[in-house]
Amino acid sequence: MANENAQEKKETVLFSDIMVEFIRKYRKVLAAVIIACAVILIGIVAGFSIRENIVNREISRAEALGERFEELRFDINESESEEAVQALLADLDALAAKSGGFASAHSYSLIAGIHADRKNWAEAEKAWILAAQKGAGGYLAPVSWFNAAVAAEEAGDVESAIAHYNEAVAFADSFPSASKAQFAIGRLEEGRGDREAALEAYRALIEKWPLDTIWAGLANTRIIALTGLSS
């Protein structure tokens, strides 16, 4: 046992000696590696910080453009406001194109709002779609899909309106107006004479939102009207 302990101590000492010798021999290389890792880490942290500052500036810019929109809104269709509106659209286009996330989505939503106020429904729909795509995962996405559906409906494009409402319904867990979007699908299907599709949409609404006293109630009323039977 004593011999084994002595051997273990000897091996420990030898291993320590090897490590000391290794560090001594390659100390310059190790120091360079440590410095390089530190520089990389600092660069990563700095990169995140710079990106965060850029994003914050873009959001602030989008919010400032939103204030300009609100100032113009009541006179947006007046001829004397045309120059200011076009300047705002140009600034919004530029920010939407170069930024990402919320700033881009918000910019496109403001562009859509301008076109909607002017009843340029096709342009409003395009901008709302871009807002939804840029804001995917955020609260602006379902709102934008819903508004794109409204714009498509105003333009008489029922097929696109139904598709956009379905996109909004996909956010059922987080979008308060999802049941309204689902009812709109049934209403549009009914309006174009597709009774079975309308019934399917209304029944889906009741199944997904049984406690919705407004839209589920209206859906049930439409089912009764279409079938003559209570659901």
pLDDT digits (tens, 9 = 90+) for 70-101: 888 788 888 888 999 899 899 989 988 887 68
% the chain with pLDDT above 90: 53
**Overall domain count for the chain:** 1
**pLDDT value, residue 137:** 75
| Of 28 and 38, more confident | 28
**pLDDT value, residue 176:** 94
**pLDDT value, residue 16:** 55
Q: In what helix (H) or strand (E) does residue 230 lie, and over which residues does it extend? A: none
**pLDDT value, residue 46:** 43
Residues 6+ apart with CB under 8 A from 201: 182, 183, 185, 186, 189, 219
pLDDT grade for 51, boundaries at 50, 70 and 90: very low
Is residue 185 assigned to a domain?
no
Query: 133, exposed or middle or buried, with CB in 10 Å at 0-12, 13-18, 19+?
Result: middle
Enclosing domain of residue 43: 2-175
Is residue 200 assigned to a domain?
no
Query: 96, exposed or middle or buried, with CB in 10 Å at 0-12, 13-18, 19+?
Result: buried
- What's the rounded Cα separation, in Å, for the pair 55 and 101? 9
The pLDDT of 4-15, averaged and rounded, is 51
| Of 125 and 230, more confident | 125
Phi-psi region of 224 (alpha: psi -120 to 50; beta: other; left: phi over 0): alpha
| Of 46 and 164, more confident | 164
Distances in whole angstroms, Cα of residue 38 to Cα of each of 35, 155, 212: 5, 58, 57
Please determine, for residue 216, whether its predicted confidence score (pLDDT) is greater than 80: yes
Backbone φ and ψ for 103, nearest 5 degrees, come out as -60, -45
Is residue 180 assigned to a domain?
no
- What's the rounded Cα separation, in Å, for the pair 169 and 15? 66
Of residues 175, 190, 173, the one with CA closest to residue 145? 175
Is residue 193 assigned to a domain?
no
Is residue 118 assigned to a domain?
yes
Is residue 51 assigned to a domain?
yes
- What's the rounded Cα separation, in Å, for the pair 96 and 129? 13
**pLDDT value, residue 114:** 94
Is residue 221 assigned to a domain?
no
CATH of the domain at 120: 1.25.40.10
**pLDDT value, residue 71:** 85
The pLDDT of 29-48, averaged and rounded, is 51
Least confident of 29-33, 155-159, 222-226: 29-33
pTM, full prediction: 0.73
> In the predicted model, what is the mean pLDDT of the chain?
82
Of residues 168, 193, 197, 192, the one with CA closest to residue 182? 168
Length of the chain: 231
pLDDT grade for 64, boundaries at 50, 70 and 90: confident
Is residue 30 assigned to a domain?
yes
Token pair 């209570």 is found at 230
Query: How wide is the angle at C-alpha 11 spanned by C-alphas 9 and 14, nearest 5°?
Result: 110
The pLDDT of 172-188, averaged and rounded, is 96
Dump pLDDT digits (tens) for 94-122: 988 887 688 888 999 999 999 999 999 99
Q: Is 157 helix (H, G, I), strand (E, B) or coil?
A: coil
